[in-house]
Chain A
Amino acid sequence: MATVTAMPARSRKQVVGRSRRTLAAAVALILFAIVLPFIPPFTGQDYQRYLVGAAYTAALAVAFDFTAGYIDIVNFGFAAFVGIGAYTSALLAVDLGLPPGLGLIAGAGAAGLVGLATGMLTLRLRGIYAAVMAWFVGLALMGLVRNLTDITRGSMGLNVPRLLGTDDNLPYYYVMLALLLVTIAVLTYVIRSNVGLAFRAIGQNLQAARASGINPTRFLVLNFTLSCAFAGLMGGFYAHYYTILTPDLMSTTRTIEVLAVAYIGGRGSLWGPAIIAFPLYIGTELLRTQLASLPGLHLVLYGLLLIVVMVYWPGGVAGVVRKTALWWERRSEKAADATTSSAS
């Protein structure tokens, strides 16, 4: 994981060709996601609801991967930050009548602030300690929401106005898809900048990063805050889409579901989790509704997949795709070499 393999020098043509291929694949995928609700099984309201859920899960998994995959901190309290965003946005709408659109941004801000505080508290620790501390903070936040029943109504559930004036799922899908694309775009931009380079350096080898003049804590906190802010943004969407909020949204199980998607998709890629979330979420939702006599089967599969990925397939889907692409490139290079050598 931590080793940096020496890449053979590639010609400018090759690099441009590769980034062009990536761009083409991204555009194709985005177009596919846009037309998806018009392809037969997805035209129905049920399926469109799954699509919204899938895009929501994808966005969460991307935000989760931003910390887990790059600075190597597993935020076990992730769902709590989603909940902070959701409750902030919902309460602003319910108590102050703020429009949900603004509420989403306020939710992101609130989750980011709590994330900043949590990050400053926990990120002095490493590895498992940081993960467990974030978990504890998440549990405490969930307990707080559950107990402040005067404000949040606790387990009785909070009724929230819808984001758009309609009950049709299609517009929600496009809003969520836009949020997902914004998330991926912003986080990818950060990862590709110098800041992202620092993140990766820290994730791979903290001591070496420190030795080359990076202040790890500052970057760790920055990363954590950003991830939490996006979690809060999605939380706001969740609140105004599903219109009922319970503290259950903040439970560890929810974190593990996101975590499973992120790891099955492939850590440290951002796009892997985003893509795999769709088949995974829709498949498990179908299983859950079709096989109602076997409650929990879909989560058993989640758990099983997570185990298989952790033991046998550590790169996840993104890892497999990367390996295949590399193999393909090598093969075509060899073919090119063969043609040039035979020509000379």
Chain B
Amino acid sequence: MTTATNLRTVPLARRFLTFTWGVVALVVLVLAIALIFQPSIFVDTLVTGGMWALMAGGLALVFGVMNIPNFAHGEMFMIGGLVSWVIYQPIRDAFLNDPKNMFLQVVGPIPGILVAAVVGFLVGVLLETVLFRALRKRSRDQWVMNTFLLTAGVSVMLVNGDRMVFGNDYRGVPRYWDVHSLQILGVPVAVDRIAVFVIAMISIGVFSYFLQRTRTGRAMRAVSQDETGAQMAGISLNRIFMLTMGLSCGLAALAGAALLSIFPNSPDVGVQPLYLAWYVVILAGLGNVQGAIAGAFIVSLLQTLAVTYLGLGWVDVAPTAVIILILLFKPSGLFGSEVKGVWEQ
């Protein structure tokens, strides 16, 4: 909590000899070694890291502003993929008749992805207005834990609602952009993955700009620092909560839509992204949005290393073990969290 003041008094050399900086340095070092000897690890880390950053950024935002540890975040990913699939299918069928039309080929997947983000936003707004507002009105006792369990219920409902309506099948597209993969650093990378990375970078850029520079974004951060103070300054809490939840869910849905070709849609497709987003958020420190974006790349590196050297089955186990170890030394996360009420509740 006192890091800001400590930084000025601690000598420069000591400032960077901390555990956090050690981990960051190690990550950078491993990435640099990978860049030279095994570029595929470097490329994979960046490409998947971008998407986990989208998921984790939204999760961190909702925790920071509303103190809600969203367990249903993976289901927003699922909804995004579903919406994009529903919209993309007819479009693809339409231009299968006309494969020469390059413009349609390039633009085709975009409406699905955009609509998915919008639908995710609306679902988030709905969740806030119907559930969280009702709970907030009733009681704010043990808010963090109660909302965690509440969202667990939402998650079960959405997963099985999807199963009920759309069945248990995989609904995927082989690829959005049907072109040869590009060579990056000698590693073949599918154009879809590059597109995913570009989408992630643009969204993170817009998202950060929104949080740092716009009036509404500042209001959001104000609420996350001090709710009562923000209210006194004339910020409408309900509006900010609605927007925060919508934004977070929209980002997750966007990730789900963009990754449709890698994560074919099924009722429980959101499970793995949910775990990963949570690894990231806990690793970085709950509610720390910028930390979450950095943490996403750390988790993605751990994952890539596990897949490369241990095999596909260990993709979740190895990062979990490492994260538990790190948390033993830094229980509040690598980048600390200065969210109100986390420790009290």
Measured CB to CB, the residues of A under 8 A from B are: 1-2, 72, 74, 121, 124-129, 131-133, 135-137, 139-140, 143-144, 146-147, 252-253, 256, 259-260, 263, 294-300, 302-307, 310-312, 314
Task: List the 8 closest A-B pairs by CB distance, nearest first.
Answer: A303-B157, A296-B160, A306-B153, A143-B317, A303-B156, A296-B163, A299-B160, A307-B153
Using a CB–CB cutoff of 8 Å, the interface residues on chain B facing chain A are 69, 131, 134-135, 138-139, 141-142, 144-146, 148-150, 152-164, 167-168, 267, 271, 275, 278-279, 282, 286, 313-314, 316-317, 320-321, 323-324, 327-328, 331, 342-343, 345
Contact between B163 and A307, CB atoms less than 8 A apart: no
Contacting residues, chain A, for B313 (C-beta < 8 A): 143, 146-147
B148 / chain A contacts, CB cutoff of 8 Å = 74, 128, 131
Q: Is the CB of A131 within 8 A of B317?
A: no
A1 partner, pick from B142, B168, B342, beta carbons under 8 A: B142
Which single residue of chain B is at the shortest CB-CB distance from A300?
A: B160
A302 touches B324 (CB 8 A): no
* CB-based contact B324/A296 at 8 Å: no
CA distance A271 to B30 in the complex (A): 53
B285 CB to nearest A CB, Å: 10
**Which A residues touch B164, using CB under 8 A?**
294-297, 300
Inter-subunit contact B145/A131 (CB<8 Å): yes
Once the chains are docked, how many angstroms separate the CA of A299 from the CA of B324? 31
- Cβ-defined contact, A297 with B160, below 8 A: yes
Residue from B131, B139, B141, B342 within 8 A of A307 (CB atoms): B131
In the complex, the answer to whether B153 meets A1 with C-beta atoms within 8 Å is: no
Task: Provide 18 A-B residue pairs closer than 8 Å at the C-beta atoms, listed in order of the A residue.
Answer: A72-B145, A74-B148, A128-B148, A128-B342, A133-B324, A136-B324, A139-B316, A143-B317, A253-B156, A263-B149, A296-B162, A300-B160, A300-B161, A303-B155, A303-B158, A307-B157, A310-B135, A310-B149
In chain B, what residue has the closest Cβ to A3?
A: B141
> What 11 new A-B contacts, CB under 8 Å, besides A74-B145, A135-B278?
A136-B324, A140-B320, A143-B317, A144-B317, A252-B271, A256-B155, A260-B153, A295-B163, A297-B164, A310-B149, A311-B138
Of A253, A302, A310, most B-chain CB atoms within 10 Å = A310
The number of residue pairs between A and B whose CB atoms lie closer than 8 Å in the complex comes to 138
What is the CA–CA distance of A297 and B142 in the complex, to the nearest angstrom?
30
Closest Cβ of chain B: how far from A267's Cβ, in Å?
10
CA of A315 to CA of B89 in the docked complex: distance in angstroms?
A: 47
For B159, the chain A residues whose CB sits under 8 A away are 296, 299
**Residue among B153, B157, B313 with the highest chain A CB neighbour number at 10 A:** B153
- Whether B324 pairs with A128 at a CB distance below 8 angstroms is no
B125 to chain A, nearest CB (A): 17
Cβ-defined contact, B342 with A124, below 8 A: no
Report whether over half of chain A's contact residues are helix, strand or loop; otherwise say mixed: helix
A303 and B163 contacting across the interface, CB-CB below 8 Å? no
Neighbouring A residues of B135 by C-beta, 8 Å: 310-311
CB distance from B162 to the nearest CB of A (A): 8
Q: Contacting A295 at CB < 8 Å: which of B69, B131, B168?
A: B168
Please pick, from A125, A128, A294, A296, the residue contacting B331 in the complex, using a CB distance under 8 A: A125
For residue A253, which residues in chain B have a CB less than 8 angstroms away from its CB?
Answer: 156
A306, B149: Cβ atoms closer than 8 Å = yes
Smallest Cβ distance from B129 to chain A, in angstroms?
13
Name the B residues within 8 Å of A74 (CB-CB).
145, 148-149
A179 CA / B146 CA spacing, docked (Å): 30
* CA A128 to CA B70, docked complex, whole Å: 11
Q: Kindly report which residue of chain A lies nearest to residue B268, judged by CB atoms.
A: A253
- Chain B nearest CB, measured from A336 CB (Å): 34
Q: Please, how many angstroms separate the alpha-carbon atoms of A59 and B293 in the complex? A: 42
Residues on B with beta carbons closer than 8 Å to the beta carbon of A302 = 153, 156
Expressed in whole angstroms, the Cα–Cα distance for A314 and B343 within the complex equals 22
Interface centre among B131, B150, B157 (most CB of A within 10 A): B157
Chain A residue with the shortest CB-CB distance to B144? A128
With known contacts A263-B149, A312-B138, A307–B154 Cβ distance under 8 A: yes
A310 to B150, CA, bound (A): 6
Does A303 lie within 8 Å of B154, measured CB to CB?
Answer: yes
Q: Which residue of A lies closest to B156 (CB)?
A: A303
- Check A256 against B156 for contact (C-beta < 8 Å): yes
Given the known interface contacts A74-B145, A311-B131, the answer about A127 and B279 at a Cβ–Cβ threshold of 8 Å is no
By a CB distance below 8 angstroms, the chain A residues around B323 are 136
How many Å lie between the Cα of A17 and that of B69 in the bound state? Answer: 44
Contacts of B155 in A (CB 8 A): 256, 303
Chain A residues with Cβ below 8 Å from B145 are: 72, 74, 127-128, 131
Q: Which residue of B lies closest to A304 (CB)?
A: B157
Q: What separation, in Å, do the CA atoms of A342 and B174 have in the docked complex?
A: 85
How distant is the Cα of A136 from the Cα of B322 in the complex, in angstroms? 11
User: Are the C-beta atoms of B146 and A310 separated by less than 8 Å?
Assistant: yes
Whether the pair B316, A143 counts as a contact (CB closer than 8 A) is yes
Pair A296/B134 contact, Cβ less than 8 Å = no
Nearest CB in chain B to that of A297: its residue: B164
| B282 neighbours in A (Cβ, 8 Å) | 129, 132-133, 136
Across the interface, which residues of A come within 8 angstroms of B69, CB to CB? 128, 132
Whether A2 and B153, one on each chain, are in contact in the complex, defined by CB atoms closer than 8 angstroms, is no
Q: Which residue from chain B places its CB closest to the CB of A126 in the assembled complex?
A: B343
With contacts A128-B145, A295-B168 taken as known, whether A300 is within 8 angstroms of B317 at the C-beta atoms is no
Separation of A4 and B150 alpha carbons in the complex (Å): 25
B328's nearest neighbour on chain A, judged by CB, is A121
